[in-house]
Every structure is written in structure tokens, then in C-alpha cells.
């Protein structure tokens, strides 16, 4: 029998979590939660799973993050993107940074890839998989680790220069879920190199955010249908997470 869960109890839980007197959230030093400093939200989420609807739970946690992050980041997303658009940290010639695509205000899911340098075949595959999973452009945002579409491998210094933009952008966009496509985006977020096959298919929490890790689209085109099927399955999992839990067949 499904356990009943009242809206009043949820409101009480959220208020307790956001209380200035809550020692779990605010150490004596007065510091707020950082990007990778706690698994508290993961524990709370897992305990609430099954008690309230998937989509309502994802929305509630988006509001919690918004309240917490408003105390840390006071940029406007438009101003922040103006800064990134005019970045000159790296020597990439006349190439200028590109901005994220689609919903750049309040996406349900933020997809992260290496860079804007995508072959048309890769773009076509991505759009096909998004549609098959039930997504449209109004619900997702596509962003990058490196903002400049250079047609070469990025240096470690260039990745280091660009990574803070991604971290800040995530906090400003406050998606319900992050999906990393490829090893570089996963490495930049998790802080160490990971084996995708050991993580994919599952939701891993990192600080405030649930993350799904999957293969890159370019790799999938080379590797074949089985990897494409894995990516589709992972994107369907993302759709299920932020919606009503109705799986796309």
C-alpha cells in the first residue's frame, strides 16, 4: 500500500531545511552549502521518493535550490552570458564563445557536451534522440564545457579557464536534472575522471544536483547502434525523472 504524504509535511520539511538556524545546512562559520560539499539533498530526495509524485518532487527540489543559491549567486543569466560571450581568456584566434541553445531561462534538463563544435550528423542524432524520449526544445538547454567552437582538442588550461562558466551557469539555470554527454563534461563536474559505463543508467547526486552520465554523441556514431540505444535509454530516464514517471516506450 502506498504511503500517504501530505503537502503540509512537505512544506514543513522544506522550511526546516531552509531555516537559518539549521546547523546541518549552515555550519557555525556561516558558510552556505557549496557545489560539491554535501549529500544532504540526495538523502532527503531518496527518502521522499515514492511518497509524492516524481514531477512534484523534482519541482520542489528546484525551488529549494533556488532559495539556497539566491544567497550565493546574484548574477542575472543575461548578464552572465554577456560576460562569457566577451571572454578572452584563451588564445583561439578570431573564434568567439557561443551561448547555450534552447531554453536558457528555466530548463527542466541541462545537457552538457564538450563544445559547440558539432558536426551536422551529431546534431541530427541528438535531435532524434530528444524527440524519441519525449523532449522538446522548450524543456531543455544545451550547454558546453568549452564555449569556443575550435576544431581541435582543447588544452587542459583552456578547459580550466572555461569550467567556472559551466559551474556558475548551472547555478543560475537551476535545472531539475543535468545530463552529461561524454567523459569531459562528467570529469569537469565530478572533479575526477570516471568510467561512463560504470555510472550510466543511474542518477548520481553531486551537491545540489542529480546527474545522469552517458556517452558522447560523436562516440555513439562511431561505436554503433548499441551505444546509441544506451544514450536513448538514458535520455528517457531523464524524461521520466522530471515528468510524471511515465516511461516512453
* pLDDT per position as a tens digit, 182-227: 999 998 988 777 788 888 888 888 888 899 999 999 999 999 999 9
Domains of the chain: 7-249 (3.40.470.10)
Give the pairing of strands 101-102 and 140-144.
Answer: antiparallel
* pLDDT per position as a tens digit, 140-195: 999 999 999 888 889 999 999 999 889 889 988 999 999 999 999 998 988 777 78
> What is the reported pTM?
0.75
Q: In a 10 Å sphere around its CB, with 0-12 CB exposed, 13-18 middle and 19+ buried, how is residue 3 labelled?
A: exposed
Furthest-apart CA atoms within the chain: distance in Å: 63
Percent of the chain exceeding pLDDT 90 equals: 38
> Grid cell 529549494 — which residue?
64
Q: Is 232 helix (H, G, I), strand (E, B) or coil?
A: helix
* pLDDT per position as a tens digit, 57-92: 888 888 877 777 766 666 788 888 888 888 888 888
Amino acid at each position: 500500500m502506498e504511503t500517504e504524504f501530505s503537502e503540509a509535511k512537505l512544506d514543513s520539511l522544506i522550511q526546516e531545511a531552509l531555516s537559518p538556524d539549521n546547523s546541518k545546512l549552515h555550519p557555525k562559520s556561516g558558510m552556505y552549502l557549496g557545489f560539491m560539499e554535501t549529500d544532504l539533498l540526495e538523502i532527503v530526495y531518496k527518502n521522499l521518493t515514492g511518497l509524492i509524485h516524481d514531477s512534484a518532487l523534482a519541482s520542489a527540489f528546484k525551488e529549494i535550490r533556488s532559495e539556497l543559491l539566491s544567497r550565493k549567486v546574484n548574477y542575472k543569466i543575461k548578464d552572465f552570458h554577456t560576460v562569457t560571450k566577451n571572454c578572452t581568456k584563451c588564445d583561439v584566434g578570431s573564434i568567439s564563445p557561443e551561448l547555450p541553445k534552447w531554453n536558457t531561462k528555466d530548463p527542466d534538463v541541462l545537457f552538457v557536451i564538450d563544445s559547440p563544435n558539432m558536426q551536422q550528423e551529431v546534431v541530427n542524432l541528438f535531435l532524434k534522440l530528444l524527440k524519441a524520449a519525449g523532449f522538446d526544445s522548450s524543456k531543455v538547454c544545451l550547454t558546453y564545457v568549452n564555449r569556443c567552437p575550435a576544431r581541435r582538442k582543447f588544452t587542459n588550461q583552456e578547459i580550466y579557464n572555461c569550467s567556472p562558466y559551466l559551474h556558475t551557469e548551472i547555478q543560475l539555470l537551476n535545472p531539475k536534472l543535468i545530463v552529461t554527454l561524454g567523459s569531459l563534461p562528467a570529469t569537469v563536474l565530478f572533479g575526477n575522471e570516471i568510467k561512463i559505463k560504470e555510472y550510466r543508467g543511474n542518477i548520481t547526486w553531486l551537491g545540489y544536483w542529480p546527474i545522469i552520465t552517458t556517452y558522447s554523441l560523436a562516440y555513439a556514431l562511431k561505436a554503433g547502434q548499441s551505444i546509441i540505444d544506451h544514450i536513448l535509454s538514458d535520455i528517457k530516464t531523464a524524461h521520466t525523472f522530471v515528468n510524471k514517471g511515465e516511461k516512453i516506450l
